[in-house]
Structure 1
């Protein structure tokens, strides 16, 4: 008789909590307190549930080894999954909680550690996990630069399912990356490789680390910007998302911009900068005509759900897919090698509505049609 698969589950409950309130990260107790004071809500458990739901029909083939409360126990209870709690986490949870949890879970001889968090969580786990234990991340943080994460929560569940069922998967070392949040909040992205961990490799579902280095396509980007400027409508609110391409658009208008946040324009003038989700929502109530200018984020081509959590489900739904101006160079689209762009918001129904063909502005009076997809 084959031994039952032992699945370790660790959730960082405050991962990503700073995203929707424009804090550019969630590291540190002070940042987490500030995020909660600004009205942020915890999302990590919901992301973990999305991953674990893919295992609902094979629950007799695995057991979960997890941590008390929001670090795993509550998620298992919500999904009625059999589980064993092997560590009682302090409240509120800290980095030390994650490190202690890894040690306790690993001591039970798990076959895989599935964790929900961001790059900070990955760093904590990498600092103590044994090199022979496979790990897989459920993306739940503001920063997801590491190659140890699946491209969506559901994708993490699918890879886990393959391991539980004994399907053939390669195991490979993947980089654990992180950026300096203090510099990140100043608009400076400085990523650093800290270590590596062993991950189950399925190229459809596990993300590649974005290559560093700046794309040298100034003329193409200038053409995109010229097209956008020609198309600007009077008395229409324009929300401008994060990224170097959208920043170039703001530069062409001679306006300050937030490289890593969301800004607002009206009649060619900057009216608000580095907005939180609540501030964006209030602007939408005051301005009936609104459009969103956004570009794909990261090496996997995420449109929503990575680095722009201020653009929440209710904000995107209010704006409507027809009012989204998606911009990108053709070179960036070619880098996807035929893979679709991705949406990964917590709202599955919204992901479905956003999926399908979308027009991408790729130059002056030049555009292409390209698919958006999501992982169920």
Structure 2
């Protein structure tokens, strides 16, 4: 198996930068106190994999690009490419993936986000199956497992030739981060990769809303807005669904950021984790979030600013979930998913949540880590 880590993946999420494409953004993320999460998730995936396929031969990129995580997980990796500098660049990712394809690996497992998936696709096309450990900010592509643990299970199942695992053509999508930072969504399909698939372990590509949802969601948003109480801080997650709540309050909002409302007024737009925690001091906090269409993600995809610490301080009982019934039906019975990076918080969120689907109507939906 080939193994690649993007060491900077996920750096910009909790601090509200919506990605880490570009040296300037990386420096700004570090200035805001961000810390990398890719290594931790890479080790988690490999530890799960090693319990099932302990004798697996791993070919890794050097240092923080894979060698370190593989060694920490108990493997003795062969290094096939060493990055030209620190930090590594996308050209290192492309070179490493191309070398692995030439080496004849059965699978490339990588830890990163959509940008990493795009680079690996550019290097190997459909010659080698690829599977992503979700470690970035944007993970709209269908080449990712639902979590690091699921990535380890799915990779092991594929490498062990389990009959339940098959290959599919999975979309590789990427969003224009500069557009996101100006509150515009600009997505592009870069192609299809061959990727292992089991329904419970692999995520789908992000899906948009369908026709007929607007009226029910608008009415639900008005009901949620009318239930807001003085002196309480309301944290609004990203997306068009939660933006309807801001619209109902006649307040400005950021489509892809996290905003805060207190006493009917905006007290913060496009906030990062540390700013949210500051706003929460002295106030009972409530979180209002939507569901990421197609993937069924509740926390951990595109809303990492609402971190495990923010969720813990808020409390499970003060989280409101809004989604159209059509979006829930489109999940075909699959549960909603949480991946906050903290096992205790994920366990606290697991179980069942009421999802507000229309005024006076709630649907009980299972949530899993």
TM over 0.5: yes
Q: Secondary structure at the match of 1:311?
A: coil
Asked whether 1:63 is paired with 2:32, we answer no
Asked whether 1:32 is paired with 2:26, we answer yes
Asked whether 1:301 is paired with 2:296, we answer yes
In structure 1, C-alpha distance between the alignment counterparts of 2:240 and 2:51, rounded to whole Å = 43
In structure 1, C-alpha distance between the alignment counterparts of 2:263 and 2:125, rounded to whole Å = 57
Alpha-carbon deviation of 1:215? 4.3
The aligned residue for residue 137 of structure 1 is 132
The aligned residue for residue 322 of structure 1 is 317
Alpha-carbon deviation of 1:188? 1.6
1:160 corresponds to which of 155, 162, 166: 155
Matches within 5 A, 1:80-159: 80-89=74-83, 90-159=85-154
- TM-score, normalised via structure 1 length: 0.94
The aligned residue for residue 241 of structure 1 is 237
Q: Secondary structure at the match of 2:133?
A: strand
Are the aligned partners of 1:174 and 1:198 in contact in 2 as well (CA < 8 Å)?
Answer: yes
Asked whether 1:41 is paired with 2:35, we answer yes
Q: Deviations over 1:174-222 (max 9, x none)?
A: 2211111111112221211112211122222222222346544222012
Alpha-carbon deviation of 1:140? 1.1
The aligned residue for residue 173 of structure 1 is 169
Are the aligned partners of 2:242 and 2:288 in contact in 1 as well (CA < 8 Å)?
Answer: yes
Alpha-carbon deviation of 1:144? 1.1
Alpha-carbon deviation of 1:359? 1.4
1:22 corresponds to which of 16, 30, 43: 16
Are the aligned partners of 1:112 and 1:136 in contact in 2 as well (CA < 8 Å)?
Answer: yes
Alpha-carbon deviation of 1:366? 2.1
In structure 1, C-alpha distance between the alignment counterparts of 2:293 and 2:282, rounded to whole Å = 30
Matches within 5 A, 1:161-310: 161-168=156-163, 169-212=165-208, 215-284=211-280, 286-310=281-305
Judge which range, 124-133 or 260-269, deviates more. 124-133
In structure 2, C-alpha distance between the alignment counterparts of 1:214 and 1:364, rounded to whole Å = 19
In structure 1, C-alpha distance between the alignment counterparts of 2:246 and 2:71, rounded to whole Å = 47
In structure 1, C-alpha distance between the alignment counterparts of 2:150 and 2:95, rounded to whole Å = 27
Are the aligned partners of 1:61 and 1:164 in contact in 2 as well (CA < 8 Å)?
Answer: no
Which runs of at least 4 in structure 1 moved beyond 6 Å after TM superposition?
none
In structure 2, C-alpha distance between the alignment counterparts of 1:264 and 1:130, rounded to whole Å = 43
Judge which range, 208-217 or 340-349, deviates more. 208-217
Are the aligned partners of 1:257 and 1:273 in contact in 2 as well (CA < 8 Å)?
Answer: yes
Number of matched residues?
367
Are the aligned partners of 1:236 and 1:287 in contact in 2 as well (CA < 8 Å)?
Answer: no
Alpha-carbon deviation of 1:59? 4.6
Are the aligned partners of 1:59 and 1:81 in contact in 2 as well (CA < 8 Å)?
Answer: no
Alpha-carbon deviation of 1:173? 1.9
Are the aligned partners of 2:53 and 2:156 in contact in 1 as well (CA < 8 Å)?
Answer: no
Alpha-carbon deviation of 1:326? 1.0
Are the aligned partners of 2:16 and 2:270 in contact in 1 as well (CA < 8 Å)?
Answer: yes
- Gapped runs of 5+ residues in structure 1? 1-6
- TM-score, normalised via structure 2 length: 0.96
In structure 2, C-alpha distance between the alignment counterparts of 1:150 and 1:215, rounded to whole Å = 29
The aligned residue for residue 3 of structure 1 is none
Gap change, CA 1:215 and 1:36, over 3 Å in 2: farther
Gap change, CA 1:215 and 1:142, over 3 Å in 2: farther
In structure 2, C-alpha distance between the alignment counterparts of 1:215 and 1:148, rounded to whole Å = 27
1:341 corresponds to which of 325, 336, 341: 336
Q: Deviations over 1:78-100 (max 9, x none)?
A: 22222111211121111111111
